[in-house]
Amino acid sequence: MKSIEDIMVMAQNVQDELQKAQANLDTIEVEGVSGGGLVKVKASAKGRIMSVDIDDSLLAPSEKQMLEDLVAAAFNDARTKADAASSTEMGKLTSGLPLPPGFKLPF
């Protein structure tokens, strides 16, 4: 059995690695796409929106409702991809830890 000091050192190491992983998430880029590529949203895996690209063909007033729907869909696609990238990166961190199924970091 490990001493309390060993456990505390291990906990500190996990916390340090978690902070590094969180910082790394902002450097991973994902792209959400909708309308067959007419609307694109770039985001970090942490969820920060970096850019929005809208095809000129959608800028007609008659296309307003469709454009709004496509922008929302692209944001949702980017968010889904950001969550997946975040889960993958955090999974790398926790792969060696004996955590129960479904347990997520950070606490």
Summarised one tens digit per residue, pLDDT across range 37-71 is 999 999 988 888 999 999 999 999 999 999 999 99
For 27-94, give the CATH class: alpha beta
Residue-level pLDDT at 1: 56
Phi/psi zone of residue 47: left (φ > 0), alpha (ψ -120 to 50 degrees), beta? left
Nearest Cα residue to 35 out of 81, 79, 80, 68: 68
Q: How far is CA 75 from the centre of its chain?
A: 12
Q: Rounded mean pLDDT of 74-100?
A: 80
Q: Are 78 and 32 in contact (CB under 8 A)?
A: yes
Give, in degrees to the nearest 5, the angle at Cα 10 between 9 and 14: 120
d(CA 67, CA 63): 6
The proportion of the chain whose per-residue pLDDT surpasses 90, expressed as a percent, equals: 42
> Contact at 8 Å (CB) between 48 and 26?
yes
